[in-house]
Chain A
Amino acid sequence: MEHSATTLSHSALLWLIPMFPFIGMLINGLFVRKSRETFAGILASLAMFCSFIVSAVVFFQLVGLDPHHRELTQTIYTWMAVGDFHANISFLMDPLSAVMALVVTGVGFLIHVYSIGYMKGDERVTRYFTQLNLFAFFMLILVMADNYLLMFVGWEGVGLCSYLLIGFWFEDMEKAKAGKKAFVVNRIGDFGFLLGMFLIFITFGSLDFQVVFERATGMDYGAGMVTAITLLLFLGATWKSAQIPLYVWLPDAMAGPTPVSALIHAATMVTAGVYMVARSNVLYMLAPTSLAVVGWIGAATALMAATIGLAQNDIKKVLAYSTVSQLGYMFLACGVGAFGAGIFHLMTHAFFKALLFLGAGAVIHAMHHHLHEIGSDADPQDMRNMGGLKKYLPKTYWTFLIATIAIAGIPGLSGFFSKDEILWKAFSSGNTAIWVIGAVAAGLTAFYMFRLVFMTFFGEFRSAKQGQHPHENPPVMTIPLMILAVLAVIGGWVGIPHVLGGGNHIEAWFHPVFAEAEYIAEIHQGYGIHDAGIEMTLMIISVVIALIGIFLAYHFHLKNREAGEKINKSIKPIYTILHNKYYVDEGYQATVINPILATSRAFLWKFFDVKVVDGTVNGVAWLVNWSASQVRKVQTGQVQNYALMMGVGILLVLLAFVL
């Protein structure tokens, strides 16, 4: 468990992992002409594939190492060294970043391939793949950095790419605006990260993970400084990973192309906050207050976003709120000290949520073409225009269904194992209230996801015209779906709990990374509950809750629609609030955005940037005597005003000294 610099192994391969997408980005950005869209797509996908292969090689290198020394590093060069301020460009591969790198490159590769089909025919495909590769580059920097500063480079970089990709279809003002909102919001979140970083530096004298965590173990449990650092970092994470109260940008970000939503806003970038918290596990464990904040924010977000998901009709919006909710689960896990479970869920979520988004993209793609053909201008994303699609899009339907079962938490599929691990850890660590919230949110998840499936794939097709119907998408889009479907099934098998006769390999795999934190937890919080009977009972309860959710969705959205309508009517006020997402966006607009704009426009601009020509003629002799007419025209009093204001400033400054 003791880390020391001498035990680190070096790997000369690490730099290649981010380098491939970077090269792909350069070639596509500089040399590939607009017209060669297929080539650009293949090149970008190939870059991702190479980087996936290297990640896998490094992964197996890690597996071959002694579990306690599973760390590979590579220092490229010393970035800067000013006095005691020191940072390297260097990469770290340990069990945690290895899983992240595999998810980013693996799922990223599949999404790149899918994009070739999805983006076909768009004018700016080359630019699209350039930006997608650039995103992958920054994301890999983020997860492979071995210090906070380099991590921050990735952190900012993914935000920038996310902005560019959300606003990719900028002809649509709404979409360009959504991109800008996401970037600005993220930038404000970076403020927390930056401040946290400053405090880490002055407290520990370094920004290297290794050094910081080693020195942190010498701090007092619950020390104020560590609490401040972790809260600030978490502030950064709440923006990046769309948690209460700062999640509003994520649903808007759905304006981007759907594969972008799958990659950035489901599988990778939005999980960066979870990764960062898990990476800083030692710091969080030393700050019980911060840990509680993380846990409760996560739980609250999981619940609130799930309730909003119940009343949305846009297929992507449902998935967006579902992502917010699932990210809440991951933070909930971190908050109860189960960092490994959180990252496990991050991984399985990457599989099934990427699949759900790509599936939704396939539906939208097919709907779009169909609506276009029949000359309708209905919204291709509105589920009320869909229905019965399983007949026309069988491959999409089956893969989508698998992902839905996985997210709903039905035993055997990936989502079940990771979600149950989280709930069990919440309960066994004594956070019963958080467990209850998590379990309820799980039921809601099952409900809204199956509602989505029933509304989309079952019943009658509601946009039929002259016997025309949507067509299944080409293999370049459906094959990635199938691969992801396989992963969504088996991806959780690495974490089958002991009570079910599994080995929970993923827990053992992550153990070296979180050992120090677990040790701190044992000292200060005592051991958790270890009782196979309780664990089994809880598992059964959560399965029953999920089944109830599915049954209700079936009952109200397929079997007996009128009953569903009736219920919606009878609880109209609640439904309206949910449908309008608790009016949070409107609240921000009124309380934050409008006042800032108004202040800037009305007050500051007028006051400090007064129009020269509007000035009143001033009588001070030495200016009036100025003869050149044009000069007089522009000098009408303004200078005196300036001088006056500055004179007042001087007086105030002098007064400050005298008093």
Chain B
Amino acid sequence: MNYDYNLSAIAVPLILAAGSVLVLLTDVLLGKKAKDSAYQTTLTILALAGVFCFTRWGTGGSAFFGQVYTDGFTSFFNLAFLTVGFLVVLNSPNYLIRNGIDHGEYYMLILLALLGMTFMASAGDLLIFFLGLETMSICLYVLAGFHKSRAKSNESSLKYLLLGAFFTGFLLYGMALVYGQVGSTNLAEISNYLAEAANPLGGYMGIGLALLLIGLTFKMAVVPFHFWSPDVYDGAPTPVTAFMSTAPKAAAFAAALRIFYHPGIELGIPWENVLWVLAVLTMTVGNFAALAQTSVKRMLAYSSITHAGYLLVGFLASNELGASGMLFYLFMYGFMNVGAFTIAYLVNRRGKGNYNLSDFAQLGTKSPMLAALMSIFMLSLTGIPPLAGFFGKLYIFSAAVQEGYVWLVVIAVLNSAISVFYYLRVMVMMYMREGEDLADLEKAPTVAITAVICGLAILIFGLFPSPLLDLARASIIALL
């Protein structure tokens, strides 16, 4: 079994780990002379990892004695994480420099958080999953508080840390119960146990798995375990918010798919009922709260709760269409949210700095390009065809109808109809309101490039979704 120490199986996390050290070194050694050396190094590392991920696309199987899976699913999520990471890093310097927090550690933390995520998606063992989760979370706690001099940023960090620790406790407890019942934390062995046991969810097993699920739903910001997210998202530096609202959410869903879709692990009726209720709550509460926001940043924070609810619908459907829909959705959601936060940040600079909706006034005439891009993001989040956001919803909802969750889909579609109110408000502001002496937008090439990439991706994957969908489907087949 010597071949199981196959380092190339974890090439992506290895590159990220080595890269994070390299970033620190370049910052220390070259940082004084070449200010953006850490930035450039990070982008290079992410691109390199992306190339590795793409050229060595997972073909199935596992490595390190079943500790990590090396299948298409792993590769798909790695690509998604790296894409979001790249986009976030790409537009970060603008914010960091402006706020005087342009330190190399920022990039290192992003790389390490990504490292944790890759292990969450590829874990073949609960312990690996847990290590990945904690690596990611600790980086995020620090990132949320990266703007040290701002009380809000500190508050954000602390809240996240405290509540995160709270839920880590439940998660670990759940894992311990599962271990106590099965005698192993390996997913394959857990599923063997479940297949053979007379009463699979008896003993501590049911409660163990439930706690595991609760721990994950916290990271997904599912209602009622969402309370942290609006405050944390609101207080964190905006590029970090863009990052937090997309990649870790995708990682939590990846882990949930990995664990609960594992062949042999069957969810019973009580699970379906609970997930049904959680999905409905998540969609509805997120939506109604977003309706009442006047800050774009907060609105996007609540709307990201709603989107977690839609994803839960796909999770519940648990068929091929639903799961590949989720993968597609998560990938596209990265583009939509990073794009929206990026522009929100830039536009915020015109106003008083509290992300007020009215800062968007007249953007349509002042900066038609950014306004058009923002419209694409808003319409895609609403789910208007032929933008990519629509297809994510289409697959997920179709899959749920296929499985007989008609009422759940009715609620989901109604929610998606309500969401038009607050997404549209941004467009109304941009095109149909007179501004009151708002400053012109400053030139920010990196921000513009990020937004253009996001906008193009949404258009292209809306008009030509097939390649990405095929990839998602091929990735998910390994699980189902």
Listed in ascending order, the chain A residues whose CB lies under 8 Å from chain B are 77-83, 85, 149, 152-153, 156-157, 160, 164, 167, 170-171, 176, 180, 183-184, 187-188, 190-191, 194-195, 198-199, 201-202, 599-601, 604-605, 608-609, 612, 628, 630-631, 633-635, 638-639, 642-643, 645-646, 648-650, 653-654, 656-658
Output the least CB separation between B321 and chain A (Å): 6
- Could you say which residues of chain A place their CB within 8 Å of the CB of B385? 149, 152-153, 156-157
Are A604 and B292 touching (Cβ within 8 A)?
A: yes
In the complex the two chains form, what is the Cα distance from A649 to B401 in whole Å?
28
Contact of B466 (CB < 8 Å), options: A81, A180, A653? A81
In the complex the two chains form, what is the Cα distance from A198 to B325 in whole Å?
14
Binds A, one of B117-125, B162-170, B258-266: B162-170
Interface flag for B353 (CB, 8 Å): no
30 contacting pairs across A/B (C-beta < 8 A):
A79-B464, A79-B465, A80-B469, A85-B321, A170-B432, A176-B428, A183-B420, A183-B424, A184-B417, A184-B420, A191-B410, A198-B398, A201-B398, A202-B402, A599-B288, A600-B288, A604-B288, A608-B227, A612-B155, A631-B158, A639-B162, A643-B162, A643-B163, A649-B224, A649-B225, A653-B214, A654-B207, A654-B210, A656-B273, A658-B207
Which residue of chain A lies nearest to B416 when distances are taken between CB atoms in the complex? A191
Are A82 and B469 touching (Cβ within 8 A)?
A: yes
Complex interface bits, B269-303 against A, C-beta within 8 A gives 1, otherwise 0: 01101100110000001001101100000100000
- Could you say which residues of chain A place their CB within 8 Å of the CB of B167? 646
Output the least CB separation between B301 and chain A (Å): 10
Which residue of chain B lies nearest to A171 when distances are taken between CB atoms in the complex? B434
Output the least CB separation between A377 and chain B (Å): 22
Are B417 and A190 touching (Cβ within 8 A)?
A: yes
Contact of A600 with B292 at beta-carbon distance under 8 Å, contacts A612-B231, A646-B163, A657-B210 already known: yes
Output the least CB separation between B164 and chain A (Å): 11
Are A83 and B320 touching (Cβ within 8 A)?
A: yes
Within 8 A of A (CB), among B113-160: 151-152, 154-155, 158-159
In the complex the two chains form, what is the Cα distance from A149 to B463 in whole Å?
12
In the complex the two chains form, what is the Cα distance from A599 to B289 in whole Å?
10
- Could you say which residues of chain B place their CB within 8 Å of the CB of A80? 391, 465-466, 469
- Could you say which residues of chain B place their CB within 8 Å of the CB of A612? 155, 231
Output the least CB separation between A86 and chain B (Å): 10
Output the least CB separation between A597 and chain B (Å): 8
Which residue of chain B lies nearest to A85 when distances are taken between CB atoms in the complex? B321
Contact of A657 with B206 at beta-carbon distance under 8 Å, contacts A198-B401, A643-B163 already known: yes
Within 8 A of A (CB), among B415-440: 416-417, 420-421, 424, 428, 431-434
- Could you say which residues of chain A place their CB within 8 Å of the CB of B424? 180, 183-184
Are A608 and B225 touching (Cβ within 8 A)?
A: no
Interface flag for B324 (CB, 8 Å): yes
Instruction: Taking A152-B385, A635-B158 as given, write out 17 further A-B residue pairs in contact, using a Cβ cutoff of 8 Å, ordered by the A residue number.
Output: A77-B464, A80-B469, A164-B431, A167-B432, A183-B420, A183-B424, A184-B420, A184-B421, A191-B410, A191-B416, A195-B413, A608-B285, A628-B154, A633-B151, A645-B227, A646-B224, A654-B211
Contact of A600 with B291 at beta-carbon distance under 8 Å, contacts A646-B163, A657-B207 already known: yes
In the complex the two chains form, what is the Cα distance from A630 to B158 in whole Å?
12
Are B466 and A79 touching (Cβ within 8 A)?
A: yes
In the complex the two chains form, what is the Cα distance from A152 to B387 in whole Å?
12
Which residue of chain B lies nearest to A175 when distances are taken between CB atoms in the complex? B432
Are A82 and B324 touching (Cβ within 8 A)?
A: yes
Complex interface bits, B180-213 against A, C-beta within 8 A gives 1, otherwise 0: 0000000000000000000000000011001100
Contact of A643 with B207 at beta-carbon distance under 8 Å, contacts A160-B384, A604-B285, A604-B292 already known: no
The 9 closest A-B pairs by CB, nearest first: A649-B224, A170-B432, A642-B227, A605-B292, A634-B155, A198-B401, A604-B288, A153-B385, A600-B291
Are A82 and B321 touching (Cβ within 8 A)?
A: yes
Output the least CB separation between A415 and chain B (Å): 36
In the complex the two chains form, what is the Cα distance from A654 to B463 in whole Å?
43
- Could you say which residues of chain A place their CB within 8 Å of the CB of B298? 609
Output the least CB separation between B65 and chain A (Å): 32
Interface flag for B7 (CB, 8 Å): no
In the complex the two chains form, what is the Cα distance from A653 to B212 in whole Å?
12
Contact of A642 (CB < 8 Å), options: B151, B152, B228? B228
Are A609 and B151 touching (Cβ within 8 A)?
A: no
In the complex the two chains form, what is the Cα distance from A90 to B464 in whole Å?
14
Complex interface bits, B379-395 against A, C-beta within 8 A gives 1, otherwise 0: 10010111000010011
Interface flag for B459 (CB, 8 Å): no
Contact of A646 with B166 at beta-carbon distance under 8 Å, contacts A194-B413, A195-B413 already known: yes
Are A631 and B384 touching (Cβ within 8 A)?
A: no
In the complex the two chains form, what is the Cα distance from A191 to B382 in whole Å?
13
Which residue of chain B lies nearest to A609 when distances are taken between CB atoms in the complex? B289
Are B159 and A639 touching (Cβ within 8 A)?
A: yes
Output the least CB separation between B38 and chain A (Å): 29
In the complex the two chains form, what is the Cα distance from A210 to B162 in whole Å?
58
Interface flag for B46 (CB, 8 Å): no
- Could you say which residues of chain B place their CB within 8 Å of the CB of A85? 321, 395, 398
In the complex the two chains form, what is the Cα distance from A85 to B328 in whole Å?
15
Are B270 and A657 touching (Cβ within 8 A)?
A: yes
Interface flag for B29 (CB, 8 Å): no
In the complex the two chains form, what is the Cα distance from A9 to B274 in whole Å?
53
Are A631 and B395 touching (Cβ within 8 A)?
A: no
Which residue of chain B lies nearest to A629 when distances are taken between CB atoms in the complex? B151
In the complex the two chains form, what is the Cα distance from A188 to B431 in whole Å?
23
Which residue of chain A lies nearest to B155 when distances are taken between CB atoms in the complex? A634
Interface flag for B409 (CB, 8 Å): yes
Interface flag for B341 (CB, 8 Å): no
- Could you say which residues of chain B place their CB within 8 Å of the CB of A657? 206-207, 210, 270-271, 274
In the complex the two chains form, what is the Cα distance from A635 to B156 in whole Å?
10
Are A202 and B292 touching (Cβ within 8 A)?
A: no
In the complex the two chains form, what is the Cα distance from A396 to B279 in whole Å?
58
Are B413 and A176 touching (Cβ within 8 A)?
A: no
In the complex the two chains form, what is the Cα distance from A600 to B284 in whole Å?
10
In the complex the two chains form, what is the Cα distance from A642 to B402 in whole Å?
37
> Which of B167, B210, B385 has its CB near the most chain A CB atoms (within 10 A)?
B385
Are B466 and A645 touching (Cβ within 8 A)?
A: no
Which residue of chain A lies nearest to B224 when distances are taken between CB atoms in the complex? A649
- Could you say which residues of chain A place their CB within 8 Å of the CB of B289? 600, 604-605, 608-609
Are B225 and A656 touching (Cβ within 8 A)?
A: no
In the complex the two chains form, what is the Cα distance from A621 to B340 in whole Å?
40
Interface flag for B307 (CB, 8 Å): no
Are B410 and A195 touching (Cβ within 8 A)?
A: yes
In the complex the two chains form, what is the Cα distance from A653 to B409 in whole Å?
22
In the complex the two chains form, what is the Cα distance from A415 to B271 in whole Å?
60
Interface flag for B230 (CB, 8 Å): yes
- Could you say which residues of chain B place their CB within 8 Å of the CB of A199? 401
In the complex the two chains form, what is the Cα distance from A600 to B421 in whole Å?
12
Which residue of chain B lies nearest to A642 when distances are taken between CB atoms in the complex? B227
Are B409 and A198 touching (Cβ within 8 A)?
A: yes
Are A191 and B417 touching (Cβ within 8 A)?
A: yes
Output the least CB separation between B252 and chain A (Å): 16
Interface flag for B397 (CB, 8 Å): yes
- Could you say which residues of chain B place their CB within 8 Å of the CB of A643? 162-163, 166
Contact of B386 (CB < 8 Å), options: A153, A184, A638, A646? A153
Are A83 and B397 touching (Cβ within 8 A)?
A: no
- Could you say which residues of chain B place their CB within 8 Å of the CB of A638? 159, 231
Are A650 and B321 touching (Cβ within 8 A)?
A: no
- Could you say which residues of chain B place their CB within 8 Å of the CB of A183? 420, 424
Are B274 and A653 touching (Cβ within 8 A)?
A: yes
Interface flag for B473 (CB, 8 Å): yes
Interface flag for B414 (CB, 8 Å): yes
Which residue of chain A lies nearest to B421 when distances are taken between CB atoms in the complex? A184
Complex interface bits, B217-245 against A, C-beta within 8 A gives 1, otherwise 0: 01000001101101100000000000000
Which residue of chain A lies nearest to B223 when distances are taken between CB atoms in the complex? A649
Are A631 and B154 touching (Cβ within 8 A)?
A: yes
Output the least CB separation between B314 and chain A (Å): 13
In the complex the two chains form, what is the Cα distance from A83 to B214 in whole Å?
32
Within 8 A of A (CB), among B448-468: 463-466
Are B166 and A83 touching (Cβ within 8 A)?
A: no
